C-alpha cells in the first residue's frame, strides 16, 4: 500500500502497516506505553509527515508532546489498545521485561556524530561515547549560538565534539526529560530525574543508574547527567596504589579486636572507596559488621546498614547498637561531637571501629578530635591507625602519556585514553599509627607540631607522590593539583630527604 493510499483512508487496522522497529523506537518506550501511541509510518523523505497510531486521537496535549519530540508533522490514526500494545511489544520486545533503557554498543565501532541525526540517535551515541570513555558526568550547556558538551573523566572535564546544536538541542533535552519522567512542558524550574540503563556490549551487560538534573539558564535548559554503576565494584585494596609498608600496616590493624581506624582526606580523595575495600576484606562469617550512616550513600554488599541521626545522642545509639553484639562497627563519617563520642565509646567497649574523617593529613585527626571536644586521653587510648590519601590520574601506558600513537610518520589519537594522555586513577597514601611514645604525647596535650616532629614517618603523601612521578605512574602536574610538592619545613607534607635517597 502506498503512502498516499494510507493517508487517505478513513479506517485503519494495524495490519495495514508494515511495522519497523527503528521507526517505532524513535519515541521513548515509557512515553508510548503511558500515552498509548505508536509510530506507524515515517513518510519522511517527501512529506515530512509521521503517521502515528493513537488511542485518544482527540487528545491535543499528547499530540503536541509527540510533535515536540519528533519535530515532524503528525497525522494521528485511531487504533485500539490491543493493536497499539501489540505494535509496541513488537518494537520494544528486547526492553520490555525491564524498566531499563537498553543501549546496544559495538565497542569497536567509532562513533561519528553527524549533523542530521535524530534525537534518539544523538542521545544513544552521546551516552555510548560517555560510557565508553568511563565518564562519570555529562554536562550539556546552552550558549547564545552554541551548545557545549563536556564529559568528566577521572575527575577532570573534557570538551567533546558534539552533534548538539541550537536546532536539535530542544528535541534531545525533550527526549532526556521524557525518558527520566520529568515534566516536558516545564522549562522554567529546576528538575531532577533518574534513568536506568542496560549498557550492552556484545554479551556483557553493565547496569547503570543515571541521575539527571535540569537547570533553566538564560539561553535554554542546561543538563547534567551523572552516571553511576548500580553495582559497586569493590577492588581489593592492594590495587588502590598503596605501598607494601602501608598494605602490611592496614592488614595488621584489621585483625584488631578494638580501636579506631580512620580513612581521611578531602572530598573526592577516594577515602570511601578505600574504606569499602577494607570492609570487604574483613567481611567474613567470623565477623559481625554493622554500618551506621547518616545518610546511607551506597549499598555495601552483605552488611547491615542503619541510617541514624547522630543528634539522637551517643547514649541512645550506644544502647541500640552495641547490644547487637557487633565485632566491627562502621561509622559513615565522624563529623560532629556525637559521632566522635559514639566511635570512642564503641571502641573502648571492645569493638573495632572504621570511619572516615575530613582532614588534610593522617596526623591531623588528633586536632580534629580536639576540635570536636573529645578528651585527649580517649584519643590516645583508642586511635590505632589513620590512613590519609589523595587521588591522581595515571599516565596512559599505551601512549606514555602523550595522547598520540606514532606510526612511522603518522600520528593518531591513542585509542586507550582517547587522546587525553591519562587513564584511570591511583591513590597517594600516608599512614599514622601512634606508638607508646606518641600516645603519651597525645595524652599530655602536646601540640600537633610537636607530635609531627616526633613521629618518624618516611612515607608521607609527598614521598608517595615523588615515587609515583619517578616511576612515570603519574606526572608532577597531576600531583601538584592535590598536594604541595615544594613544601617547606613548617608544612605538613615535609619530606625526609634521607628517606628519598634511600629509595
The minimum distance between CB 446 and Zn ion, in angstroms, equals 49
Compare residues 396 and 442 and give the one whose CB is closer to Zn ion: 396
Write the CA distances from 134 to 191, 240, 320, integer angstroms.
25, 18, 42
Q: Which residue has the cell 570511619?
A: 355
Compare residues 397 and 503 and give the one whose CB is closer to Zn ion: 397
Compare residues 185 and 412 and give the one whose CB is closer to Zn ion: 412
How many Cα atoms sit within 13 Å of 20 on the Cβ side? 10
SS3 49: strand
- Lateral strand order in the sheet of 352-357: 304-307, 289-293, 328-331, 352-357, 259-264, 383-395, 422-432
The minimum distance between CB 398 and Zn ion, in angstroms, equals 5
Task: Residue 140: name the closest of 153, 115, 157, 118 by CA.
Answer: 157
The minimum distance between CB 413 and Zn ion, in angstroms, equals 8
Compare residues 398 and 439 and give the one whose CB is closer to Zn ion: 398
The minimum distance between CB 399 and Zn ion, in angstroms, equals 3
Q: Is 469 within 8 Å of 491 (Cβ atoms)? A: no
The minimum distance between CB 477 and Zn ion, in angstroms, equals 16
Other C-beta atoms closer than 10 Å to the C-beta of 276 total 21
Compare residues 278 and 399 and give the one whose CB is closer to Zn ion: 399
Other C-beta atoms closer than 10 Å to the C-beta of 496 total 15
SS3 353: strand
Please give the radius of gyration of the chain, using alpha carbons only, rounded to the nearest integer. Answer: 29
Other C-beta atoms closer than 10 Å to the C-beta of 117 total 18
The minimum distance between CB 482 and Zn ion, in angstroms, equals 22
Taking each continuous run of H as one helix and of E as one strand, the counts in the chain are 19, 19
Q: Which residue has the cell 574523617?
A: 357
The minimum distance between CB 424 and Zn ion, in angstroms, equals 11
Compare residues 245 and 400 and give the one whose CB is closer to Zn ion: 400
Compare residues 155 and 166 and give the one whose CB is closer to Zn ion: 155
Other C-beta atoms closer than 10 Å to the C-beta of 449 total 11
List all residues 6 or more positions away from 502 whose beta carbon is below 8 Å from its beta carbon.
none
The minimum distance between CB 404 and Zn ion, in angstroms, equals 8
* Residues at the contact surface with Zn ion, assessed by CB under 5 A: 396, 398-399, 414, 416-417
The minimum distance between CB 110 and Zn ion, in angstroms, equals 16
The minimum distance between CB 151 and Zn ion, in angstroms, equals 16
Task: Residue 205: name the closest of 217, 195, 196, 192 by CA.
Answer: 196
Name the DSSP class of 183. -
Compare residues 84 and 414 and give the one whose CB is closer to Zn ion: 414
Compare residues 425 and 452 and give the one whose CB is closer to Zn ion: 425
Q: How far apart are CA 465 and CA 456, in angstroms?
A: 18
Compare residues 98 and 400 and give the one whose CB is closer to Zn ion: 400
User: Which is it for the CA torsion 300, 305, 310, 313, positive or negative?
Assistant: negative
Query: How, if at all, do strands 383-395 and 259-264 pair?
Result: parallel
Q: How far apart are CA 277 and CA 188, in angstroms?
A: 43
Amino acid at each position: 500500500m502506498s503512502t498516499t493510499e494510507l493517508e487517505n483512508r478513513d479506517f485503519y487496522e494495524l495490519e495495514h502497516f508494515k511495522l519497523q522497529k527503528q521507526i517505532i523506537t524513535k519515541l521513548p518506550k515509557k512515553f508510548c506505553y503511558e500515552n498509548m501511541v505508536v509510530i506507524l509510518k515515517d513518510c519522511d523523505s517527501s512529506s515530512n509527515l509521521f503517521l502515528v497510531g493513537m488511542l485518544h486521537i482527540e487528545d491535543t496535549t499528547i499530540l503536541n508532546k509527540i510533535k515536540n519530540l519528533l519535530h515532524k508533522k503528525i497525522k494521528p490514526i485511531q487504533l485500539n489498545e490491543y493493536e497499539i500494545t501489540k505494535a509496541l511489544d513488537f518494537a520494544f520486545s528486547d526492553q520490555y521485561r525491564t524498566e531499563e533503557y537498553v543501549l546496544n554498543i559495538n565497542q569497536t565501532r567509532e562513533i561519528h556524530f553527524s549533523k542530521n541525526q535524530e534525537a534518539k540517535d544523538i542521545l544513544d551515541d552521546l551516552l555510548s561515547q560517555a560510557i565508553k570513555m568511563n565518564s562519570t558526568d555529562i554536562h550539556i550547556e546552552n550558549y547564545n549560538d552554541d551548545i557545549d558538551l563536556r564529559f568528566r573523566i577521572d575527575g577532570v572535564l573534557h570538551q567533546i565534539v558534539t552533534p548538539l546544536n541550537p536546532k536539535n538541542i530542544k528535541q534531545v533535552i525533550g527526549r532526556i526529560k521524557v525518558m527520566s519522567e520529568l515534566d516536558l512542558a516545564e522549562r522554567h524550574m529546576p528538575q531532577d530525574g533518574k534513568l536506568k540503563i542496560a549498557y550492552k556490549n556484545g554479551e556483557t551487560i553493565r547496569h547503570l543508574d543515571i541521575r539527571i538534573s535540569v537547570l533553566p539558564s538564560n539561553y535554554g535548559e542546561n543538563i547534567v547527567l551523572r552516571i553511576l554503576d548500580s553495582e559497586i565494584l569493590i577492588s581489593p585494596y592492594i590495587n588502590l596504589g598503596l605501598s607494601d609498608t602501608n598494605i602490611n600496616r592496614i592488614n595488621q590493624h584489621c585483625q584488631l579486636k578494638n580501636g579506631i581506624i580512620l580513612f581521611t582526606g578531602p572530598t573526592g580523595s577516594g577515602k570511601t572507596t578505600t574504606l569499602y575495600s577494607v570492609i570487604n576484606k574483613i567481611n567474613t562469617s567470623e565477623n559481625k559488621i554493622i554500618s551506621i550512616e547518616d545518610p546511607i550513600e551506597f549499598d555495601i554488599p552483605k552488611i547491615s546498614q542503619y541510617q541514624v541521626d547522630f543528634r539522637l545522642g551517643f547514649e541512645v545509639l550506644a544502647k541500640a547498637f552495641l547490644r547487637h553484639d557487633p565485632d566491627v562497627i562502621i561509622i559513615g563519617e565522624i563529623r560532629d561531637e556525637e559521632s566522635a563520642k559514639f566511635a570512642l565509646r564503641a571502641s573502648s567497649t571492645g569493638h573495632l571501629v572504621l570511619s572516615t574523617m575530613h582532614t588534610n593529613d593522617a596526623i591531623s585527626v588528633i586536632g580534629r578530635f580536639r576540635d570536636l571536644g573529645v578528651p585527649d586521653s580517649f584519643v590516645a587510648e583508642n586511635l590505632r591507625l589513620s590512613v590519609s590519601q589523595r587521588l591522581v590520574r595515571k599516565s596512559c601506558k599505551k601512549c606514555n602519556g602523550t595522547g598520540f600513537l606514532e606510526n612511522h610518520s603518522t600520528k593518531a589519537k591513542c585509542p586507550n585514553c582517547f587522546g587525553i594522555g591519562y587513564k584511570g586513577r591511583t591513590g597517594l597514601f600516608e599512614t599514622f599509627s601512634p606508638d607508646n611514645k606518641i600516645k603519651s604525647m597525645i595524652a599530655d596535650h602536646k601540640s600537633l607540631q610537636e607530635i609531627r616532629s616526633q613521629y618518624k614517618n618516611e612515607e608521607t603523601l609527598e614521598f608517595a607522590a615523588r615515587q609515583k612521578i619517578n616511576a612515570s605512574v603519574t606526572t608532577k602536574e597531576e600531583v601538584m593539583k592535590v598536594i604541595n610538592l615544594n613544601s617547606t619545613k613548617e608544612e605538613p607534607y615535609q619530606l625526609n630527604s634521607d628517606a628519598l635517597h634511600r629509595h
